[in-house]
Structure 1
Amino acid sequence: MMFGSRGKARFLAAVEGLESAVRDRDAKRCTRGLREIHRAYGKAGDQEIAEGGARLAALLPELPDGPRGGLAVFVGACVERGADARRCAPAVLAGLAQALEAAEEFCERWAASGGGDFPEPDDGDPGPGVVERGGHCAAFGWWTLPQWEMAAAAMLSHVEVRKELDSIVRARLLRDLRTVTEASGHDFKCLEQVLLVLDDEPLVALDRSSGAGYALRMTGLGDTFQLHTLLADVLIGGGHLPGQAPSAREAAVCRDAPGQVPTTGSFNLVAPDGSLLWNEGTPADIPVVDGVRLLVLDPPPYRRGWPAGRFFPNMPGDLVLERVLGAEETAQWFTQVAPAKG
């Protein structure tokens, strides 16, 4: 018991030490403080993590380019252990925006200075050649972007953070991210998908075989694999459509239970224009028609399986059936849909 108490006191003491070093602009003490926080973290209790996470997030704007991204990852780890995501998120998301802008500038400078393969960030700092070609701030933006990606995913796994993220800010983050991705060829899939997550989003699903329609609402779905399994759970498992429903466990891991389990697809998910919506995409790929995302369910041409679960393990998701559409309303929605292909 005494050992645990010492571990807890040590963690908050390390946080206080880093705060003092940041106030004094003492780079060496900052480095030592970050190491001490890492050493003390494992033995800290939940209350200490909750307090310490918010205090560390408040330090992010004050740190130099190098250690800032690493501390952001650590703040994300605190949130995953119970620190308040709403208190921690503003500083993390502001840092992400700055890193994306800097990384965008780095891409421009890299291309202008000869191009070639982009350097792969590692656990150290960017080398002199990278900094010389890209500039200090831009190079560190590129170098630390994977760290900000991890930290942002931890924040945005919480619905309250996603709902408080201004739509204009979200759009700008996505725009800057896609600019960096296109210019560098580097995959930041995790960051893009978490920025695309929809909450309280209405969805109309039309089953072509039966001619039935359903009004649903989705929240916190990280990819279309997750949506696919939950559609089968709600519509087949709920007795609305024929077929083999996912097991209770398969549906649970797509909502809030831990782990993954094998499942089998039940539909082809199709856009109103007849194009296929891939499970590897996100529900944001579903086109909006008359203010509502409109999805067509076709029979699958063959059996497809995948691990049921959540792309973001700490993000609870859900899909609920609000009502079965009447025949007239369903027919009206079908007028917006192209005939089946093939």
Structure 2
Amino acid sequence: MIYDDTQGGAFLDAVAAFEAAVRDQHGARSEQGFQQMHRAFSDARPHELAEGGPRLADLLPEVPDGARGLISVVVGACVERGADAARCAPNVFDGLGTALAGSAEFCERWAATGGGDVPAPQMQFMDDAVIERVGEDPAGHWCALPPIERACVTLLSHAAVRTALGADRRAELFRSVRALEETSGHDFKCLAYALLVLDDEPVIALHRPTGTGYALRMTGIGDNFQLHTLLADVLVGGGHVPGHVPSAQEAAVCRDQPGQVDTVGSFNLVGPDGQWVWNEGTPSDIPVVDGVRLLVLDPPPYRRMWPAGRFFPHMTGDLTLERVLAPEEAAAWLARCIPAA
């Protein structure tokens, strides 16, 4: 069958019905429109998703709090299938800020009314006892957080979204996420890591055993397992330092290919202060010295293996070598670094 992509379809019809119901503040029709979107989504054609995602994102400020998280997920799903991420992002992230503030209030009220373990946020609404204890609006924001987190992680997989948000806004959101984790006892690791991703970020890597140094640039790297594998690909694979040479597939899954492939560690990542930079962390953990992130590569203290790949499967990552440092430059940097703790 040949489709005419200039014509509407069931998904856009459902979007239109949902838009009209939300603007009429008609709850039953809104629910019907949402169910229609859900049914039509899998068969939606690319042009429907490209149009429907931004339309739903534009509608988010008018969507009732209780449904905003679910509609954010639909927006994120449209982005995963080709809708413009940067076009869809602003209202989703405004919703994240509102949900984080409301969730902080939820935790404050929970503590003030007897404390105990904070209930896990669910995509459905809390039970009546919780609502009575903390109030309907804070409970609604707490429940909306998981789907909004999911949508934001999807959007942050796109460099254009990270750039448009800017470092200051992402840092502010990150602080709110970390504060909420501390007060609630619940984990929002994916969102926290996505907010920490660095783009076009210079890093100097110093290989202590050989006294050599390398100016590199990294972008879109979700965690230090991915960074470690790419360091080995660029430096060991490039013949600059000894170690395990990752296969082409090991390197590819850390850049832009799907899947995971077992790999072996070549280094111990250490900061200039001697503290280990853990594989489980993110490149943002690497200390900044004179405006550049400075990383020391020591021999691995024991054999390490892990599945090479990307923490964020839809985020393209890369690490490139810009230049090999002159011996005297590498020595000067190394002189500022202390041995590993």
* Structure 2 match to 1:287: 287
* Structure 2 match to 1:335: 335
Is it true that 1:269 corresponds to 2:272 in the alignment? Answer: no
Q: Which runs of 4+ in 1 moved over 6 A?
A: 2-5
Aligned residues: 340
Task: Map 1:57-76 to 2 at 5 A.
Answer: 57-76=57-76
Q: Secondary structure at the match of 2:215?
A: strand
Question: Deviation string for 1:181-219 (max 9, x for gaps)?
Answer: 000110000000000000000000000000000000000
Q: Distance in 2 between matches of 1:283 and 1:174?
A: 15
* Structure 2 match to 1:53: 53
Do the aligned partners of 1:8 and 1:43 also contact (CA within 8 Å) in 2? no
Q: Please report how far the alpha carbon of residue 24 of structure 1 lies from its aligned counterpart in structure 2 after TM superposition.
A: 0.8
Is it true that 1:251 corresponds to 2:246 in the alignment? Answer: no
Do the aligned partners of 2:201 and 2:217 also contact (CA within 8 Å) in 1? yes
**Given residue 291 of structure 2, which amino acid in structure 1 is its aligned partner?**
G
Q: Distance in 2 between matches of 1:172 and 1:290?
A: 24
Q: Distance in 2 between matches of 1:133 and 1:337?
A: 53
Q: Please report how far the alpha carbon of residue 4 of structure 1 lies from its aligned counterpart in structure 2 after TM superposition.
A: 9.8
Q: Distance in 2 between matches of 1:151 and 1:161?
A: 12
Do the aligned partners of 1:8 and 1:44 also contact (CA within 8 Å) in 2? no
Is it true that 1:171 corresponds to 2:171 in the alignment? Answer: yes
* Structure 2 match to 1:139: 139
Q: Please report how far the alpha carbon of residue 8 of structure 1 lies from its aligned counterpart in structure 2 after TM superposition.
A: 6.2
* Structure 2 match to 1:218: 218
Return 78-87 or 170-179, whichever deviates more: 170-179
* Structure 2 match to 1:233: 233
Do the aligned partners of 1:261 and 1:307 also contact (CA within 8 Å) in 2? yes
Is it true that 1:38 corresponds to 2:38 in the alignment? Answer: yes
Do the aligned partners of 1:4 and 1:43 also contact (CA within 8 Å) in 2? no
Q: Distance in 2 between matches of 1:124 and 1:283?
A: 35
Q: Distance in 1 between matches of 2:128 and 2:329?
A: 64
* Structure 2 match to 1:201: 201
Return 119-128 or 48-57, whichever deviates more: 119-128
Return 229-238 or 166-175, whichever deviates more: 166-175
Do the aligned partners of 2:15 and 2:56 also contact (CA within 8 Å) in 1? yes
* Structure 1 match to 2:149: 149
* Structure 2 match to 1:325: 325
Q: Secondary structure at the match of 1:166?
A: helix
Q: Distance in 1 between matches of 2:53 and 2:337?
A: 49
Q: Distance in 2 between matches of 1:47 and 1:271?
A: 48
Q: Please report how far the alpha carbon of residue 167 of structure 1 lies from its aligned counterpart in structure 2 after TM superposition.
A: 2.6
Q: Distance in 2 between matches of 1:170 and 1:123?
A: 24
Do the aligned partners of 2:250 and 2:261 also contact (CA within 8 Å) in 1? yes
Do the aligned partners of 1:99 and 1:142 also contact (CA within 8 Å) in 2? yes
Q: Secondary structure at the match of 2:210?
A: coil
Q: Secondary structure at the match of 1:53?
A: helix
Q: Secondary structure at the match of 2:173?
A: helix
Question: Deviation string for 1:55-78 (max 9, x for gaps)?
Answer: 111111111111110110111111
Q: Please report how far the alpha carbon of residue 244 of structure 1 lies from its aligned counterpart in structure 2 after TM superposition.
A: 2.1
Q: Please report how far the alpha carbon of residue 140 of structure 1 lies from its aligned counterpart in structure 2 after TM superposition.
A: 1.2
Do the aligned partners of 1:274 and 1:337 also contact (CA within 8 Å) in 2? yes
**Given residue 81 of structure 1, which amino acid in structure 2 is its aligned partner?**
R
Q: Please report how far the alpha carbon of residue 302 of structure 1 lies from its aligned counterpart in structure 2 after TM superposition.
A: 1.7
Runs (5+) with no aligned partner, structure 1: none
Question: How big is the alpha-carbon RMSD for the aligned residues of Structure 1 and Structure 2?
Answer: 1.5
Q: Secondary structure at the match of 2:203?
A: strand
Q: Secondary structure at the match of 2:269?
A: strand
Q: Please report how far the alpha carbon of residue 176 of structure 1 lies from its aligned counterpart in structure 2 after TM superposition.
A: 1.0
Q: Please report how far the alpha carbon of residue 122 of structure 1 lies from its aligned counterpart in structure 2 after TM superposition.
A: 3.0
Q: What is the TM-score when the length of structure 2 is the normalising length? A: 0.97
Task: Map 1:290-301 to 2 at 5 A.
Answer: 290-301=290-301
* Structure 1 match to 2:121: 121
Question: Deviation string for 1:205-258 (max 9, x for gaps)?
Answer: 000000000000000000000000000000000111122210000000000001
Q: Please report how far the alpha carbon of residue 168 of structure 1 lies from its aligned counterpart in structure 2 after TM superposition.
A: 2.5
Do the aligned partners of 2:22 and 2:30 also contact (CA within 8 Å) in 1? yes
**Given residue 218 of structure 2, which amino acid in structure 1 is its aligned partner?**
M
Q: Distance in 2 between matches of 1:103 and 1:29?
A: 28
Do the aligned partners of 2:276 and 2:340 also contact (CA within 8 Å) in 1? no
Do the aligned partners of 1:4 and 1:44 also contact (CA within 8 Å) in 2? no
**Given residue 170 of structure 1, which amino acid in structure 2 is its aligned partner?**
R
Q: Distance in 1 between matches of 2:23 and 2:112?
A: 38
**Given residue 283 of structure 1, which amino acid in structure 2 is its aligned partner?**
P
Q: Secondary structure at the match of 1:44?
A: coil
Runs (5+) with no aligned partner, structure 2: none
